[in-house]
Amino acid sequence: VPGDVGFEKLGLSDVDYEKLVQEVNVIFHVAATVRFDEPLRVATAINVRGTAEVRYFFKGIKTNGSISCYILE
């Protein structure tokens, strides 16, 4: 599924986002930029907003059992 953590709803289409909300029960968030010459706006979008978007996605997941979320920063 193509997406980008630097964008709202992880850069996913509405259809893909809703499908994942319904079907996902494990999340590993390891997306980040470590380029020290990255423009601050880009680094913030990936490293800060990306984590916030994953947390928002996690809160919206519909699960009938347990769910695990791993955010490595």
For residue 2, give both structure tokens. Answer: 């193509």
Name the more confident of 16 and 25: 16
- For 12-25, letters b (16+ CB in 10 Å) and e give beeeebeebbeeee
14-23: average pLDDT: 92
Residues 6+ apart with CB under 8 A from 6: 42, 45, 46, 49, 50
41: left (phi over 0), alpha (psi -120 to 50) or beta: alpha
Q: What is the mean pLDDT of the chain?
A: 84
The pLDDT tens digits for 30-65 are 888 889 999 999 898 888 988 899 888 888 887 666
Whether pTM > 0.85 for this model: the answer is no
For residue 9, give both structure tokens. Answer: 């709803």
7-31: average pLDDT: 89
